Structure 1
Amino acid sequence: AVFGNDMQEKLQALQYFIVGAGAIGCEMLKNWAMMGVACGPSGHVYVTDMDRIEKSNLSRQFLFRNTDIDKFKSATAAAAAKAMNPGLNITPYQEKVASDTEHIFGDDFYDKLSGVCTALDNVEARLYVDQRCLFYRLPMLESGTLGTKGNTQVVVPHLTENYGATRDPPEKSIPICTLKNFPNQIQHTLQWARDWFEGEFKQAAEEVNTYLGMSSTDQYVDTLQPNSKLETLRLLRRTLVDERPTSFEDCVTWARLTFEKLFNNQIRQLLHNFPADQITSSGTKFWSGSKRCPKVLQFDIDEKDPDAGMRNHLDFCMAAANLRATMYGIKGTFDEEYFRRVLQDVIVPDFAPAEGVKIAANDAEEEKNNGGDEAMGDTTDAESYEILTALPKPGEMAGFRLSSIDFDKDIDDHMLFVTACSNLRALNYTIPCEDTHRSRAIAGRIIPAIATTTALVTGLICLELYKIVGTARKELTLEAYKNGFVNLAIPFMTLSEPTAPAKTKSTLQGKEWNWTAWDSLDMNLGNITMGEFMDHFEKEYNLEISMLSYGVSILYSFFANKKKVEERKAMKMTDVIHSITKKEFPPNQLFIILELIANDVETDEEVELPYVKFRFR
């Protein structure tokens, strides 16, 4: 009645993708069901979220009930929205939207969409979705909350700048010295645990795989940085030879010894270098102010932390052993009785403090100590040679590879390890522990939400959706759209015009062309040959291509071998790329992104151009 039949039909025909089915996602789906979005025969809403419903979600995600706990958010939210409006066409997914799921959310998927709505809890994911919207020229409805604060941003192709065009300054990083030896907040211990996870379960595996992928040991050594060469080789020997497990029992033993190393031995060494009663040169106590004097942890399989209610000692061993097993392709288990039986038989060597170990007391000393392996000279070379002779040759382990594990806050096994590891570190330094839920929020940098703010920002976004759909009467200009910022605690609310996209001035076919990040040179001529591609540019744009590339691969350059150039000119574009990269194109890929350097045929001046969006299917 308010907007008329034409507007309602447009709403019903929309095909929108909601990324996230948490607080904002649930509220948005409810609003869209009430508005009639995607309720027509050609309309559709796609929603994805890989999380399952937790009890703590129920206070602010109103499409969920107690009976839904442990179910997937996306499927449950989709069913609840459809119950409100049976005409809603909706499909749920349980997939992360990232580069590794482009076989699901690829060219064919985005090609049919009207727009994307983000309901995410971190900036990295927003930036990825922003790049997808930029490439496919789709509107993006972005909103976020932080307690009583909320913001909305509407992104319209060619009219406004994209989400990633302006960014907040980077967060102040935690000093390395604080992370390594002097933490005083749970954020410090969580960051330390995340860094340790990445080093042990990701970087170590990648380093082994890099080594095994080389044709010879010498070729691998040539790739190493001089100042970190010895440390890298030690990591390689430890992962591939000294501590390589052959059974899950070996993984459990490794986890128990790792506990001893991290939370007992390293603390003993620190206190050996800096005793509890140490006085600095200025006469003050070394362990004072932000420097908390640590205490050694004794392994206790039955320990339960009163702050977080977690069995940190046992949880650490169970999570670490299973991650280790995954890395080496060994079948693991979380059977508690098995762990108790194996752990009681592990022989833990006695600790003896090492002399001559340098531990930095501040960041300046840390940087000085990191002068690293180069300063060691002959000693480094001798140990490096010893390690290299002990390593198996790459050819001797054909087919053997480790599984690199990327930390993901949404995978419970990952969070169990990081939480237990962080809490044990916190216990070393008398810092209150946190449970897995709270640790997930901190480690994943999750933005918290309250229901009132969520309802307000989704309402503002829905108003912008009406504007994007538009009416036949009026074409909206930049001034019609509004970004919002609210703070309900003050209370405060302001609406502002979006910023126009930055322009790059260029000359094409003798005319001035001001292009933006939304622009590309689109080619929809099918899978033509490279020669036809180059001829098209000269005929259509009066440009002579001097270099053409696909990612890091150069397809053509004016200085290349003439015979090779002529061969490639006769080949289809996809065949040229395949011959260089040795990779097949997924069946759902429609476009290829090409970068080029070209000169005006008449003036011979280089012309600054956006990328080429080449549709080959």
Structure 2
Amino acid sequence: MQQSDTKFDENLYSRQVAVLGAETQSKLIQMRCFIYGLRGLGLEIAKNLILAGPKSVTLYDPTVLSISDLGSNFYATHDQVGKVTRQDAAIKSLKELNPYVSVEIYNGQFNGASLSEFSVVVLTDVWDQKFITEVNEAVRQKGHGFILAHSSGLFGSAFVDFSDKFQIFDPNGEEPRQAIVAGITNEVDGIVSTIEDKRHGFQDGDSVTFREVVGMSEVNEKIFKIKVKSPYMFSIGDTTKFSQYLREGIAVQVKVPEDFEFKSFNASLTHPFAPGKNELDLMDWEKIGRPEQLHISYNALLQFTQKNGRLPGLLNQEDAQQVWELAQQINNSDRGEGALKAELDEKLVKNTALFFSAQITPLTSFWGGIVAQEVVKYTGKFTPIRQWLHSEFFEALPETEVNRTLQNSQYDDYIAIFGREALQQLQNSKIFMVGAGALGCEYIKMFALMGCGSSGQGLVTVTDDDNIEVSNLNRQFLFRKNNVGSNKAATACKVGEQMNKTSKFKSYALRVGKQNEPIFNDQFWDGLDMAINAVDNVHARRYIDSQCCYYGKPLFESGTLGTKCNSQLILPNQTQSYSESQDPPEESIPLCTLKNFPYQIEHTIQWARDYFAGFFEDGSQDCIKYLENPGNYIKRILTELKSQPGVLRPKLESVKKFAEVAAKPSLHAIVSLAKNMFQDIFCNQIKQLLYCFPPDHRTSEGQLFWTNPKRPPTPIEFDQNDPLHQLFIHSAVNIFSQIYGLPKQDKFDEIAKLLPTIQVEKYVPKQVQIKENEKDTKEEKSEDDETQIQLLAQELEKLTLGNKEASKQLQECAFEKDDPTNWHIEFLSAVSNLRARNYKIPEVQPFQVKLIAGKIIPALATTTAMIVGAVGLEIFKYILKKDVAKMRNAFINLALPLFLFSEPLPPGEHLDQEYNVLLLGPTKAIPAKWTAWDRISITQQMTLGQFIEYFNQKYGVRVSSITVDQYMVYSNYPLPSQETLDKDLGKLYAERTNQLLPAHKIYLDLTVGGELDVNGVEVNADVAPVKYQYKK
């Protein structure tokens, strides 16, 4: 399958294009890439890069597979060891990843001159300095990209050289910021003020341009470098010769291309700082100075290889000693002015050599994600690594003596690093993973390569209720085109078992939540060793977090958003839970802005999506219900929405429109519907708004009503020759065709013939109330709502007599963003851009509409692979019982690139308070300093009286209430009878809730309220949740 030089499959690449943009994707599909080395690291880079979609990826590694390769090579099998080369073992599976990418084995001359013909050359695990230099110099001369990378034990590096002069057109990938202008002064240092309730978000040195400024029109379309004065003001330089500012205007950030200079490989060995920098990039601020030491170690490893003709042996102390000596010699030698010097740590340097020849999948996944993203940066999108990135994770090494006896197995590299005991414990663990999408696929690959579920009672349980779609194939690499429509968890687990036949996976097609607790019950959770969150929504994350806190299980959390990703370790009694830290809520768009006063394309797109839902989705569903039983529907809807005439009237109007056509569907009828929709949305509604608020309308304070951010709209009359008008009609007609079961209209010809014959409803002014802003409390309604509602109800009662079969022919409409045949995105694009045209807002391409309306989450295979690798390493640390000070959360942005590893925060403690704002008085924590992990555990069955007495005796608490979920099981007002006090607590719960005790549960989670005396003063008891075991 071929793709043109600049066109690409928008459905396949939609989540990636949401990050890169269409322009960058068009550049990427023209790139020809070469990768040398297909151990774990090279294979990870190849996989990620092929998914990204360059023109071609050419591979080279004629090394015959060894048994240890299987610990990081997910496309090799046991029967290929010693018989098949790495490139031959991988080529078939790599070709299957993306039909648009040419994936081949290199068979040309293996020298710098030949390789320099590729757009980007990637060398992995190469330690021949002469060969590296030859290739690097040849590639530099062509102005192409060169990347060198290795993953060696717990030490890895990447070196990037994009030649002497390389231009970046977008350093961070963020959307350009916009600010609404409120004023511009005529001064030597002209000050731009923005509207007071919205920060401009600019930074010193940013470049901005202006549009739509009235009065000081000289600033429009010019670029100014700014200085920030405050969150609401910035200066643009001398404006004294400009006209006086009158009104309106938008300031838009401009991304000015930047030129970067790179050093050659040889020059940077002694002087590793990139031009303009004076340090190496750092991932972990507790490791200041470590990258410089690692660079000296890197030089020593190069010299060791050159001197001995081989790499340092695994766990070979003599080789490690030699590398240490070489590092000292290099560090102490005179290598020219400004050459790097570092204070060397002997243990650190030796560790780089001792584990050098090992490759483990957490690290190859981590570095593979980083390096593949660097290849993509050759398009000019995002900031490349400049130029060395070194990092090590030696804190993950065992701190006590472990059994490192190798077994000649695929796990030898893991045994060498972590010991047989840790590996055995991991393989014997019961792991529960929620989600089998992009993150889940990477985790399953990692679990299979590490042998999870291959020993004793070990098992990896995966659940996901979602099915595979075409748009998943760009990131969820375990899936193929023939898997589309299948369940994700079942498919992914099957592939995991194919990767490692000894690993055991079990899948469920279930969503986690209360409804499936009979499956994932108390016994299930009690038997787990750890949980993995691989989901993309906060609700599921919080639920799994609450379950882990309740059952005391570690949770490994991760998430991605484009080039950004994060991981969080949630460890019992040691760290914060997920729910203790929350991102700020997304900024919502005020309803009055959406309905009448949009000023950004996002507003018109959201309005279009809401209109689609209200008219097509709700309208078709309501009409079906109406036609099934007209009398009941009308009676119910009039009762339910009696107090909301502004909602009831349009609902009845849409039902009437759908029902009238349902009586006798035809092409003419639905074209008439579509044309009248156009007239109503883009002409009549706009005329009505201008009737209520004319262009010269003033507020009660005497200010002009139509001032920033309000934009006075212009009505649009239908023009059959306008392509955007045609798109609206064409898409609406096709959506109606699907609802009514009419033939699809692929061509516009038949529709065009009918349009001139259709008359539309002309605008008639009405007296209506419209909210002027979000603070306006008046109800939006029309003066004739009540009359029209009665009339509509009467017409609907008469309409369907003799037409009861019509409901069976109608099809409900449900928005689907990824179906290119349903015309949904075309309709939204037409509505969004026509409404933008109403309000003089710049229009956008249909794909941009799809991203926003479909709430498509930007995603990249590179980011996903990298963060899963980082979590994999933390899992080993947890198995090794590392102190939390050596564990790491991560926040990474590959676009910049920015790496932040930090120690997890401790859990928040409930403390005694002199005044609690919720309880309106002092509180005492029971037990003291309890956290989200704490439960008061009661393992014996009790009567209510015994339970109350237990709390009184142990904690001094006088129990005043007991609740389970939303049910009140006990309240001391009125005082309970002796009969009630003598009832078993579990049976009392069943009685009060009128339901049987859950058969799938062992525990009830009780919330206890009460009081106690502290120094003679009654205070409220802040009681930890009670875990009450009501059966064995």
- Name the TM-score, length of structure 2 as normaliser: 0.46
Q: 1:132 aligns with which of 547, 566, 586?
A: 547
Structure 2 residue 732 is matched with structure 1 residue 313: yes
Counterpart for residue 36 of structure 1: 451
For residue 426 of structure 1, report the CA deviation from its aligned partner.
1.6
Q: Which amino acid aligns with 2:579?
A: G
How many residues align? The count is 558
Kept in 2, the 8 Å contact 1:233–1:387? The answer is no
Q: 1:576 aligns with which of 979, 988, 1000?
A: 988
1:67/1:558 CA distance change after superposition, 3 Å: closer
Structure 2 residue 778 is matched with structure 1 residue 371: yes
CA distance in 2, matches of 1:290, 1:510: 55
CA distance in 2, matches of 1:251, 1:539: 76
Counterpart for residue 356 of structure 1: 766
Q: 1:462 aligns with which of 861, 868, 872?
A: 872
Q: 1:82 aligns with which of 497, 501, 509?
A: 497
Counterpart for residue 432 of structure 2: 17
CA distance in 1, matches of 2:518, 2:664: 37
Counterpart for residue 1009 of structure 2: 597
Moved more, 515-524 or 83-92: 515-524
What aligned pairs does 1:140-179 form with structure 2 within 5 A after superposition?
A: 140-179=555-594
Q: CA offsets per residue over residues 381-414 of structure 1, 9 Å max, x none? A: 999999999999xxxxxxxxxxxxxx9988979x
Counterpart for residue 329 of structure 1: none
What aligned pairs does 1:223-242 form with structure 2 within 5 A after superposition?
A: 229-231=644-646
For residue 483 of structure 1, report the CA deviation from its aligned partner.
0.8
For residue 295 of structure 1, report the CA deviation from its aligned partner.
3.7
- SS of the residue corresponding to residue 969 of structure 2 reads strand
Counterpart for residue 328 of structure 1: none
Structure 2 residue 959 is matched with structure 1 residue 545: yes
Counterpart for residue 398 of structure 1: none
What aligned pairs does 1:147-546 form with structure 2 within 5 A after superposition?
A: 147-183=562-598, 187-196=602-611, 229-231=644-646, 263-273=678-688, 279-280=695-696, 293=714, 295=716, 312-317=731-736, 321=739, 350-358=760-768, 360=770, 364-365=772-773, 367-368=775-776, 370-372=777-779, 419=825, 422-429=828-835, 431-432=843-844, 434=846, 442-443=852-853, 445-470=855-880, 475-506=881-912, 513-526=928-941, 528-546=942-960
Kept in 2, the 8 Å contact 1:189–1:422? The answer is no
Percentage of pairs with the same residue:
28
CA distance in 1, matches of 2:659, 2:646: 21
- SS of the residue corresponding to residue 77 of structure 1 reads helix
Structure 2 residue 995 is matched with structure 1 residue 588: no
CA distance in 1, matches of 2:599, 2:690: 18
CA distance in 1, matches of 2:935, 2:674: 54
1:481/1:381 CA distance change after superposition, 3 Å: same
CA distance in 1, matches of 2:562, 2:645: 47
Q: CA offsets per residue over residues 51-105 of structure 1, 9 Å max, x none? A: 3334443333322234333433222221111111111111223333344444444
1:596/1:87 CA distance change after superposition, 3 Å: same
Q: Which amino acid aligns with 1:371?
A: K
CA distance in 1, matches of 2:661, 2:516: 32
Kept in 2, the 8 Å contact 1:50–1:73? The answer is yes
Q: Which amino acid aligns with 2:898?
A: F
Q: CA offsets per residue over residues 33-56 of structure 1, 9 Å max, x none? A: 111122223111122333333444
For residue 350 of structure 1, report the CA deviation from its aligned partner.
4.6
Bigger-Rg structure (1/2): 2
Kept in 2, the 8 Å contact 1:313–1:424? The answer is no
Kept in 1, the 8 Å contact 2:927–2:1023? The answer is no
- SS of the residue corresponding to residue 513 of structure 1 reads coil
Moved more, 270-279 or 86-95: 270-279
Q: 2:969 aligns with which of 538, 547, 555?
A: 555
CA distance in 1, matches of 2:876, 2:1004: 33
Kept in 1, the 8 Å contact 2:1011–2:1021? The answer is yes
Structure 2 residue 1027 is matched with structure 1 residue 616: no
Moved more, 73-82 or 121-130: 121-130
- SS of the residue corresponding to residue 452 of structure 2 reads coil
Q: Which amino acid aligns with 1:355?
A: P
1:9/1:440 CA distance change after superposition, 3 Å: farther
For residue 111 of structure 1, report the CA deviation from its aligned partner.
3.3
CA distance in 2, matches of 1:252, 1:170: 47
Q: Which amino acid aligns with 1:545?
A: V
Q: CA offsets per residue over residues 506-559 of structure 1, 9 Å max, x none? A: 599999711112222223334x44334323333443322112223333222222
Q: Which amino acid aligns with 2:875?
A: L
The CA RMSD measured in Å over matched residues stands at 5.2
Kept in 1, the 8 Å contact 2:463–2:489? The answer is yes
Q: CA offsets per residue over residues 417-448 of structure 1, 9 Å max, x none? A: 9746633422432544536xx76754564432
Kept in 2, the 8 Å contact 1:119–1:142? The answer is yes
Counterpart for residue 396 of structure 1: none
Counterpart for residue 536 of structure 2: 121
What aligned pairs does 1:44-83 form with structure 2 within 5 A after superposition?
A: 44-83=459-498
1:468/1:235 CA distance change after superposition, 3 Å: farther
For residue 313 of structure 1, report the CA deviation from its aligned partner.
1.6
- SS of the residue corresponding to residue 467 of structure 2 reads coil
- SS of the residue corresponding to residue 608 of structure 1 reads strand
1:242/1:388 CA distance change after superposition, 3 Å: closer
CA distance in 2, matches of 1:531, 1:390: 64
Kept in 2, the 8 Å contact 1:409–1:443? The answer is no
CA distance in 1, matches of 2:850, 2:968: 42
1:522/1:124 CA distance change after superposition, 3 Å: same
Kept in 2, the 8 Å contact 1:184–1:292? The answer is no
1:136/1:512 CA distance change after superposition, 3 Å: closer
Q: CA offsets per residue over residues 473-518 of structure 1, 9 Å max, x none? A: xx53321210112233333322111111111125999997111122
For residue 233 of structure 1, report the CA deviation from its aligned partner.
6.1
CA distance in 2, matches of 1:552, 1:257: 52
Counterpart for residue 112 of structure 1: 527
CA distance in 1, matches of 2:1000, 2:717: 55
CA distance in 2, matches of 1:375, 1:284: 21
CA distance in 2, matches of 1:90, 1:542: 49
CA distance in 1, matches of 2:795, 2:1012: 59
CA distance in 2, matches of 1:251, 1:41: 65
Q: CA offsets per residue over residues 239-295 of structure 1, 9 Å max, x none? A: 9x9789799769999998986675431332223235699744699999999666464
CA distance in 2, matches of 1:391, 1:560: 53
CA distance in 2, matches of 1:177, 1:440: 23
For residue 178 of structure 1, report the CA deviation from its aligned partner.
3.3
Counterpart for residue 214 of structure 1: none
- SS of the residue corresponding to residue 372 of structure 1 reads coil
Kept in 1, the 8 Å contact 2:766–2:782? The answer is no
Q: CA offsets per residue over residues 141-194 of structure 1, 9 Å max, x none? A: 122223333222111121111122122222222232332235566643443355
Q: Which amino acid aligns with 2:1008?
A: L
CA distance in 1, matches of 2:878, 2:720: 60
Where structure 2 has 5 or more consecutive residues not aligned to the other structure, the ranges are 1-414, 626-634, 698-702, 798-812, 838-842, 914-922
CA distance in 1, matches of 2:474, 2:792: 56
For residue 371 of structure 1, report the CA deviation from its aligned partner.
1.0
Where structure 1 has 5 or more consecutive residues not aligned to the other structure, the ranges are 209-216, 323-332, 393-406
CA distance in 2, matches of 1:529, 1:246: 65
